[in-house]
Amino acid sequence: MKNIDLACIIDDDQIFIYGIKRAMELVDFCKSFLIYNDGQEALDSLKSIISANEKLPDIILLDLNMPILDGWQFLDEFINIPVSKKVHIYIVSSSVDPKDILKAKSYEAVSNYIVKPITMDKLKDILEKEVEPN
């Protein structure tokens, strides 16, 4: 299975970050990672990447409940930034609230809503969906 170049994890839970990175490594999900602990840090860095015309992540795994700028606030800001390529955003949250799931579906930029914990099979499903076959 082919992998992606760059994945971005935006989450304030260090244990989740460690676990998801490990799972991504085991399924050969991506070549490298960007990791941010809150939406503001991610937004500032991604804006800099866009301004410098550097490589954007192919996929963003976005938590909802974070300090400073939560996932919804990040999403509202990020979708208004003109980008040269499609970035696939997956909300990965512990929330099972139907309102959150419905709200996520209202964003065209959101590819899917995944309830934590995320499994290696789910990562493989994302790869199959998002990586273009040769």
Architecture of domain 4-119 in CATH?
3-Layer(aba) Sandwich (3.40)
Give residue for tokens 């976005």.
62
Q: Express each pLDDT in 47-89 by its tens digit.
A: 999 999 999 999 999 999 998 999 999 999 999 999 888 899 9
Residue-wise pLDDT for 116-134, tens only, equals 999 999 999 998 888 765 4
User: Beta 59-62 vs 110-115: how paired, if at all?
Assistant: unpaired
Domain ranges of the chain: 4-119
120-130 helix and 14-26 helix, angle to the nearest 10 degrees:
60
Q: What is the model's pTM? A: 0.93
Peptide linkage before 57 cis (omega within 30 of 0)? no
Q: What is the pLDDT of residue 134?
A: 43
Beta bridge partners of 115: 93
